[in-house]
Structure 1
Amino acid sequence: MGPAGAWATLAVAGLLEVVWSYAMKRSDGFTRFWPAVVTVVAAAASFLLLAAALRSLPLGTAYAAWTGIGALGAFALGILVLGEPATALRIGSALLILAGIVGLKAASGE
């Protein structure tokens, strides 16, 4: 897999991290069956795709980007779907995460 494919794979892995974190929230501590199933399946798929991306990308870059994508997606879902507060400090902090992901991608030269 080339660099572009590795980054695309990593992006999908990060999006699946958003899916499993949201499903985990909806599972009420794994007491609701279907959200718990979605959590486990999406987490496994996310890990497998991360592992595939790690074949081509540096560990620190890939892991930081993967967790950053998941964190930003969960943050956005929290605000848009769960009614969490969208304060200036929270949004500014999320933008710093985004800047870190962009910086890591730029620094990778790919």
Structure 2
Amino acid sequence: MNIVVKRIYDRSGHNDGTRVLVDRVWPRGIRKEDAELDDWNKDVAPSTELRKWYGHDPDKFDEFSRRYRDELATEIGQQALKNLRESVKGKRLTLLTATKDIEYSQATVLARILSD
């Protein structure tokens, strides 16, 4: 499966494939009917506690990634990953996030996990 990470604020592309929002909280400034997505899988997003602890601080990214992977290794996390994989229609998945710096986002960690 080909996986791409994009900001939800970016325009959709004709080759995005299945577009899934992977944030726990709905992004500001986007109306649901304008989002151009196939699914919103908030269960695969980091817990509220982890998200608040991280605060998108690049210095905490390695520890955040470790903790997030631990959350996804639980039974609930594994089910969320399974549901995400099953939602993909075709060979391309675009993970969407509202994070300003996608390099340090949960979507990037998730893309790596799904690619393994």
Per the normalisation by structure 1, the TM-score is 0.33
Indicate the structure whose relative CO is greater, using CA pairs within 8 Å and at least 6 residues apart: 2
* Structure with higher helix content: 1
